[in-house]
Amino acid sequence: MSRARRPAEETDVFDAIPPQLLLTLLVLSPGCVFLGMALLWLSGVKLSENTIARLANATYVFCGALVMGLAGSLWWADLASVSAGSGNWYEVHEFQIPLALFVDRLSLPMLGLTAGMTGLIAVFSRRYLHREAGFLRFFLLLHLFAFGCFLVFAAGSVDLLIGGWEIICVTSTLLVAFFQQRPEPVKSALRVFATYRGCDIGIVTGAFFLHHWAGSTLYQSVFKGDWPRQSLAGETLAAGDATIIGLLLLLGAMGKSAQVPFSGWLPRAMEGPTPSSAIFYGAISVHAGAYLLLRLQPVLVASPVASGAVVLIGALSAVHGTMVARVASDVKTSLAYSSVSQLGLIFVEIGLGFSWLPLIHIVGHAVVRTLQFLKAPSALHEFHHLHAAAGGHLPPTGAHYGRLLPPRAQLWLYRLALDRGHHDAIIDRFLTGAPRKFAQWMNRIERQLRLTPKIPKESSHG
Amino acid sequence: MQAQHENSAQLASPSEEARSLRLKHALEHAAHLLPTQGPIGVFIHHNTLHAFQHLPFEKAIGEASSIFGTEPYMAEEAYRQCLARGRILEADIWDVINREENEVILPGRLDRRTLRGILLLRGQASFDAATVDWVLEETGILESGGHALYAICLKLAGQDRTAAPSHPGRPVGLPRLGEVDLDEVIHPLLIRLAAVFLDQGVAYWPMPNRHKGFLGAVRDAMAQRGALFPEYLEGLDAAFREQLERGSSAEEVVIEVLAQLGVPEEEWESALAGELLALPGWAGTFHQLEINPGLFPYIHLPCSLLEFLAVRLTLKSAAALGVARRLGMGAEEIRQARNVRELAAPHPAQGRADALALWDALGRLGVAEPDLADWNPTLQRRLVHEIQEFNPLERRRLLHLAYERRHEEDVLQAVAWHRREHPPVRQSVRPFADVFFCIDEREESIRRHLEEVAPEVRTHGTAGFFGVAMHYTGMDDAHGAALCPVVVKPQHAVHERPVSHHSNIHALRVRRRRTWARLLHHTSLFSRALVRGWLSTAALWPVSLFPLVTRVLAPRHYGLWTKALHRVWIPRPSTELAFERSESESITPESGLFRGFTLEEATDRVAGTLGNAGLREGFARLVAVLGHGSTSLNNPHESAHDCGACGGGRGGPNGRAFAAMANSPEVRGQLLTRGITIPADTWFVGGYHDTSNADITLFDLERVPLSHVPDLAKLREFFDAARAFDAEERARRFEAASPHGGPRKALLHVQDRAERLSEPRPEYGHCTNAVCIVGRRELTRGLFLDRRAFLVSYDAALDPEDNALARLLGAVVPVCGGISLEYYFSFVDNERYGCGTKLPHNITGLIGVMNGPASDLRTGLPWQMVEVHEPVRILFVVETTPARVMKVMSANPELAEFLENRWIRLATVDPGTGDVHVRRGDGWEMLSPTLEALPSVKISADWFRGKIDHLPIAHVAGPTSRRGNGRV
């Protein structure tokens, strides 16, 4: 697997600190901080808010510096990528899951974005969550999330990426259910989790087929050339194989990036505290799906069908998102669906074969949306000033629907947008309805056979 | 037959009419239970349980808690901690118990008071049925010879299970059918519909046909064909279509569904209340907007609670049918479902839990097993009955009374001591300046600091609209707003206008502001649109990067920069208030308001405020009149920090208008005839104090006579010093501020908080309010009251007829009482009376906040606003005699209700002798002074620096004592 790596000796200026070390340190540091804090907490040490906050600041300043160091060393040595490997995670005969980190012009901006945004959110949350019972829990999850993101963006293979992917899934779920004493957040979190996991079927089987047909999931084995001019290496994948893998990966990406018809979880994820909504659903987590497709773009390029599907899903999501955002009357839902529509556009850009454009779009969207999420509780204040500055006459919005559409069509479209395209009902009734009914049926059978032990009522609360 | 048909077509038949009337009544009664909060942009504090105010406090909160399922007091554990740390003393407990009815339980050995006292002080334990078996088996609680006693307890405890409390229970609608919670089925849709209907400007595409009212708009949208519903709501579109075809009114819909759900007419009220209380916030908002459409901030809509109910019940009926279909139930079974009230069966271990609690209580009372076994069954039963009657609710009630008593004792003893040691003396020296503040308890500290910095300054407290009730339109405002207490309907419009030679600057300002608004409006819409959103996120994103980073990392600087930019680009003309009106002008027809005030009216305002405050002569050369308000970011509850006397607005314009009136020579001439002499060399300056960022702005400085300019400069220096000390005192409560940073750093800290997006506590607002002192400033000057006391200036000697007192109390009691009670309830049950933690709040429709994407509209105060509050009913201390205050109170039914039902506490300080009387029950008791000396410090900071908790009252002697004598 070291065949693409250039010898370290060439990078003489960075001899003392090889970029491989920087990369490994970068990925590990939030993970270590998470582990350390978790162990201290488990052993009964009470960390003060100040300590937790300082530790977080230090971590992300350090991570930021590492990203800059990485960028510097890549630039200095005129390298397109750096990879660091350390043996195999898992090995059975021919089949291996190597622990390989990899950074190039695509992953570096994503790493920088993650370090920067997580740092900002850590500073923000220090005040926002002051005196909150779950203060430590929030920061623990934030570090774990950063670790997961670094793993996704710095993974050298799809397998390792899936590891980070699942960590994001878990932290996201736990932060949606941050206020676990109320039932709604927990229910919403369950929905988020179920959507994520359902779509994960795509990415896991996609990785399986990649192993099967291409013999490896290492980017450096499957692809040749440097991003953004990468293509499939040799004859690794037939067009039909690429289509299947591309479609499966698309399924995985759709869940994470809340694309049609799986966007219903995104507004529900707003149950958590505002900064976690900002970092997950404004900045980083929702873009992971787009990153996955961008990363594996050569597979899409090899299959017009898969590319077409990405464009289609993206376009549908873009229109769906903007329609729903336009009728949403609460600030966070409106922002959530605006994100869906921009993510849709990013998907379209990726499907059309652009590389730099979607990357810039991801970064820009993350910046704009994070600020909007963080400012969401100011909506009243801002509208009041805006209204006054406009002299009490803000131009009416949405009037062109009245002009362009006949009243019936208007109502019909409004109804459709209000119910978010009925996607939730479609999923609940047609996608998950059958398995649920099957489970209920099994449950009834079981009860009739009296196989369930009678559980005393009080212990069910415990 | 034919005739009957015609009859029903044209006129409702008598029975229908009766039904309709009955429904109206039922709805009115049910609506009574809903929260009375309007849209959040104008937050008005009020008693959360206003609907229960006709009942005595303790009864009312008991009833309310059984109807709403809320907590009436703090948790018993919280009171116990207060006992442990000396916040409640043993004496308080006995004092409270000795005011309760007594009864002999065991002749010669035990009476009720002793029993309750012992159990309260020794901490009776409660046991939970779910865990009692574990406690019995695992903790070895009975090991030390308790088994015998426990065995008897097991027998005795079950004999006398007290009957269910006489309180009305929770009203029920139709919450569930079979295993399915119907509310869970309908709420997501209902909340979304209510939110889009009431939306005031968040959605780009507003709901169509809103002019038809809620039911009409919802019907039009929901009756569309081709929609896919969640499983249980299938058929909802058909139901709405059917209503459309028949043209049913909201009332008909409600009556039909009630019949379908099997609710008999006599249960309508309870059923409607149950349905409405399932989402009290939304229902309450519909109700408030119906009875007071003026509350709509931007877009007026036809709003009706009945229509909300009709939509709700249509959804519910569809859900009930859907569930019934799934479960194979018929129409009759749906009707029956409501009657099957599953009474919660007692827990199998409940008997053991009761027995163990009894065992524990007996142990604490020192009753041993042989004794108990000896007594005859009557005695045994009486003892057990008494112990079980003393249930957790009752214990919390007594503990709460003791908690309030300690507070009352501390305050009154301190006031009495201060009155004794520093009796008020008429000042013969003319003060350097008179400064009027609002009575607000947040102004207590800055008044104190101002007096410490400049002992030659005199401060006064009057309600912060300064008697000038007006409908005010500022230069930058789109529409006017009422600046006066909510109970007052303003009749006079006042405009701020640019002075004539600045009209060109004003025109430029308006133009630039319009441009700015257009730009901002577009960018905010842009980012949510599709193609334009692409532009703003993919291309223009670096524009957002700077604010994102600086607003998080250096918010105060960001605020300074943007304000500086604003000043440069949007110039500000000099302005004046258009407040004068000639006698001949009458009400402007379009607004229904007078334009400004006539000379007579202006004189009334000035005389009223000065007269009430007891200031008729001896004015200083400078008089500052400071209104107040609060600015903060990312705070949907921003308005809750503004001035309550200005109806949740900012009182700067009121101070400015008052000063302008008082400077008018004509007004002064008129004032002479009313016994108020303002010297010719006295100048009034209006101003505004921001209680969040600590700014003090003074208005109309260019009009100040040259002779007063140096004095004014000096006064501003005093203000600057005082607001820094004040900031330090505020900052002591904030853990993020350095406890030893000193006043300068504290000032920067509070300014930073006001600009910080991440700050859920820009200030603590009215939190910790506990006392309202009505009297001369000399009564409190030199007392450190810890920002917990409203201070109302009043001089009983100048008010022989008690007219001023009647006016003052008539305004102050409802306002301060409302604030105190809102804080009380939001604190004791923050999730249900308050709106919970701010962190997941999500602004919806610019009218309120939800938790996350779809919840009830949250009313009340957030945890971050109340977390350091001490829930006590406000204690009014009035400097007059009991007879005089009672005369005033009983003449005003609202005040009488507050007092007689004990929603407030009341004490008096005799203006002549300084004796303190406390209102207890229906009588007055004289306070016997027990306090030897109050801790004394030189300046306030010596007392509070480095401390974060509530502080006892202290005496602040001042840096250089001018009163020399009489000091301890």
Q: Is B487 exposed, middle or buried (0-12, 13-18, 19+ CB in 10 A)?
A: exposed
Residue A348 touches partner B, C-beta closer than 8 Å: no
Residue B519 touches partner A, C-beta closer than 8 Å: no
pLDDT (0 to 100) of residue A266: 95
Do B517 and A394 lie within an 8 Å CB cutoff? yes
Do A365 and B843 lie within an 8 Å CB cutoff? no
User: Is the distance from CB of B653 to CB of B592 less than 8 angstroms?
Assistant: no
Give the distance from residue A121's alpha carbon to the nearest chain B alpha carbon, in angstroms. 8
Give the distance from residue B20's alpha carbon to the nearest chain A alpha carbon, in angstroms. 32
* A156-196: pLDDT as tens digits: 999 999 999 999 999 999 999 999 989 999 999 999 999 99
From-to residues of CATH 3.40.1050 in chain B: 432-468+600-769
Report the pLDDT averaged over residues A292-308. 94
How far is residue A273's CA from residue B202's CA, in Å, rounded to a whole number?
Answer: 21
Q: Which of A82-91, B508-517, B669-678 has the lowest mean pLDDT?
A: A82-91
How far is residue B236's CA from residue B234's CA, in Å, rounded to a whole number?
Answer: 6
Give the distance from residue B186's alpha carbon to the nearest chain A alpha carbon, in angstroms. 13
Report the pLDDT averaged over residues B342-356. 76
Reported as a pLDDT band with limits 50, 70 and 90, residue B161 is: low
3-state secondary structure of A211: helix
Enter the DSSP assignment of B98.
T
Contacts of B221 in chain A (CB under 8 A): 411, 414-415, 418
User: Is the distance from CB of A265 to CB of A192 less than 8 angstroms?
Assistant: yes
Do B41 and A428 lie within an 8 Å CB cutoff? no
Contacts of B761 in chain A (CB under 8 A): 130
pLDDT (0 to 100) of residue A451: 54
Give the distance from residue B465's alpha carbon to the nearest chain A alpha carbon, in angstroms. 22
Do B514 and A378 lie within an 8 Å CB cutoff? no
Report the pLDDT averaged over residues B924-936. 91
Residue A319 touches partner B, C-beta closer than 8 Å: yes
Q: Which of B196, B541, B844 is the closest to A367 by Cβ?
A: B541
Phi-psi sector, A426: left (phi>0), alpha (psi -120 to 50), beta: alpha
Q: Determine the residue of chain A that is closest to B197 in CA distance.
A: A329
Q: Which of B536, B552, B636 is the closest to A123 by Cβ?
A: B552
Chain A, 217 to 256: residues with Cβ < 8 Å from chain B are none
Q: Is the preceding peptide bond at A98 cis, omega within 30 degrees of 0? A: no
Placement of tokens 């993101």 in the chain: A149
Placement of tokens 């974060």 in the chain: B948
Do B227 and A342 lie within an 8 Å CB cutoff? no
Do A377 and B479 lie within an 8 Å CB cutoff? no
Q: Which of B536, B549, B635 is the closest to A377 by Cβ?
A: B635
* B776-812: pLDDT as tens digits: 999 999 999 999 999 999 999 999 999 999 999 999 9
Do A381 and B635 lie within an 8 Å CB cutoff? yes
Enter the DSSP assignment of A264.
T
Tokens of A117: 């945004």
Residue A268 touches partner B, C-beta closer than 8 Å: yes
Interior angle at CA B680, CA B674 and CA B683, nearest 5: 100
The overall average pLDDT reported for chain B is 90
How far is residue B585's CA from residue B600's CA, in Å, rounded to a whole number?
Answer: 13
Q: Which of B196, B510, B841 is the closest to A377 by Cβ?
A: B841
Contacts of A461 in chain B (CB under 8 A): 130
3-state secondary structure of A299: helix
Contacts of A419 in chain B (CB under 8 A): 227-228
What class does CATH assign to B432-468+600-769?
alpha beta
Q: Is B682 exposed, middle or buried (0-12, 13-18, 19+ CB in 10 A)?
A: middle
Reported as a pLDDT band with limits 50, 70 and 90, residue A363 is: very high
Strand pairing of B433-437 and B180-181?
A: unpaired
Q: How many CB pairs under 8 A join A and B?
A: 289
Do B548 and A120 lie within an 8 Å CB cutoff? yes
User: Is the distance from CB of B198 to CB of B285 less than 8 angstroms?
Assistant: yes
Residue of B178 and B184 predicted with greater confidence: B184
Tell me: pLDDT of B953 over 90: yes
Do B221 and A411 lie within an 8 Å CB cutoff? yes
Start-end of H helices in B904-965: 940-944
How far is residue A369's CA from residue A352's CA, in Å, rounded to a whole number?
Answer: 24
Q: Determine the residue of chain B that is closest to A402 in CA distance.
A: B208
Report the pLDDT averaged over residues B815-832. 95
Contacts of B641 in chain A (CB under 8 A): none
How far is residue B773's CA from residue B412's CA, in Å, rounded to a whole number?
Answer: 11
Report the pLDDT averaged over residues B444-472. 95
Start-end of H helices in B454-588: 503-526, 531-534, 542-553, 555-569
Give the distance from residue B799's alpha carbon to the nearest chain A alpha carbon, in angstroms. 44
Question: In chain A, pLDDT over 90 holds for what percent of residues?
Answer: 65
What is the residue-wise DSSP string for A319-340? HHHHHHHHH--BHHHHHHHHHH
Report the pLDDT averaged over residues B153-167. 62
Residue B135 touches partner A, C-beta closer than 8 Å: no
Q: Model's pTM, two decimal places?
A: 0.93
Chain B, 445 to 484: residues with Cβ < 8 Å from chain A are 476-479
Chain A, 158 to 217: residues with Cβ < 8 Å from chain B are 178-179, 182, 184-185, 188
Contacts of B350 in chain A (CB under 8 A): none
Contacts of A418 in chain B (CB under 8 A): 192-193, 196, 221
pLDDT (0 to 100) of residue A13: 47
Q: Who contacts B483 (Cβ-Cβ below 8 Å, separation ≥6)?
A: B465, B468, B469, B470, B471, B472, B490, B646, B647, B649, B650, B651, B653, B654
* B683-701: pLDDT as tens digits: 999 999 999 999 999 999 9
pLDDT (0 to 100) of residue B7: 42
Q: Determine the residue of chain A that is closest to B831 in CA distance.
A: A182
How far is residue A199's CA from residue A309's CA, in Å, rounded to a whole number?
Answer: 16
pLDDT (0 to 100) of residue A11: 44
Q: Which of A265-279, A412-426, B127-141, B598-612 has the lowest mean pLDDT?
A: B127-141
Residue of A245 and A446 predicted with greater confidence: A245
Do B538 and A271 lie within an 8 Å CB cutoff? no
3-state secondary structure of B187: helix
Closest to A36 measured CA to CA, from A144, A125, A118, A124: A144
Residue B118 touches partner A, C-beta closer than 8 Å: no
Residue B342 touches partner A, C-beta closer than 8 Å: no
Question: In chain B, pLDDT over 70 holds for what percent of residues?
Answer: 96
Reported as a pLDDT band with limits 50, 70 and 90, residue B759 is: very high
Closest to B487 measured CA to CA, from B523, B463, B511: B463
User: Is the distance from CB of B874 to CB of B822 less than 8 angstroms?
Assistant: no
Query: For every residue of B302-356, which 3-state class applies, written as one string?
Result: CCCHHHHHHHHHHHHHHHHHHHHHHHCCCHHHHHHHCCCCCCCCCCCCHHHHHHH
Give the distance from residue B943's alpha carbon to the nearest chain A alpha carbon, in angstroms. 25
Residue B968 touches partner A, C-beta closer than 8 Å: no
Residue type, B502: H
Q: Determine the residue of chain A that is closest to B512 in CA distance.
A: A389
Strand pairing of B457-461 and B433-437?
A: parallel
Reported as a pLDDT band with limits 50, 70 and 90, residue A450 is: low
Q: Who contacts A447 (Cβ-Cβ below 8 Å, separation ≥6)?
A: none
Q: Is B572 exposed, middle or buried (0-12, 13-18, 19+ CB in 10 A)?
A: middle
pLDDT (0 to 100) of residue B313: 96
pLDDT (0 to 100) of residue B91: 94
Element holding B497 (H helix, E strand):
strand B492-498
Q: Which of B534, B633, B864 is the closest to A378 by Cβ?
A: B633
Report the pLDDT averaged over residues B548-562. 95
Residue B569 touches partner A, C-beta closer than 8 Å: no
Strand pairing of B696-698 and B622-629?
A: unpaired
3-state secondary structure of B931: coil
Report the pLDDT averaged over residues B401-430. 93
pLDDT (0 to 100) of residue B486: 85
Give the distance from residue A337's alpha carbon to the nearest chain B alpha carbon, in angstroms. 8
Give the distance from residue B836's alpha carbon to the nearest chain A alpha carbon, in angstroms. 11
Do A334 and B203 lie within an 8 Å CB cutoff? yes
Do B852 and A395 lie within an 8 Å CB cutoff? no
B562 CB neighbour count, 10 Å cutoff: 14
Residue A424 touches partner B, C-beta closer than 8 Å: yes
pLDDT (0 to 100) of residue A2: 38
Do B638 and A381 lie within an 8 Å CB cutoff? yes
* B538-551: pLDDT as tens digits: 888 898 899 999 99
Question: In chain B, pLDDT over 90 holds for what percent of residues?
Answer: 70
How far is residue A333's CA from residue B188's CA, in Å, rounded to a whole number?
Answer: 13
Give the distance from residue B644's alpha carbon to the nearest chain A alpha carbon, in angstroms. 19
Do A127 and B736 lie within an 8 Å CB cutoff? yes
Residue A354 touches partner B, C-beta closer than 8 Å: no
Tell me: pLDDT of B906 over 80: yes
pLDDT (0 to 100) of residue A433: 80
Query: For every residue of A44-98, which 3-state class applies, written as one string?
Result: CCCCCHHHHHHHHHHHHHHHHHHHHHHHHHHHHCCCCEEEEEEEEEEEECCEEEE
Reported as a pLDDT band with limits 50, 70 and 90, residue A16 is: low
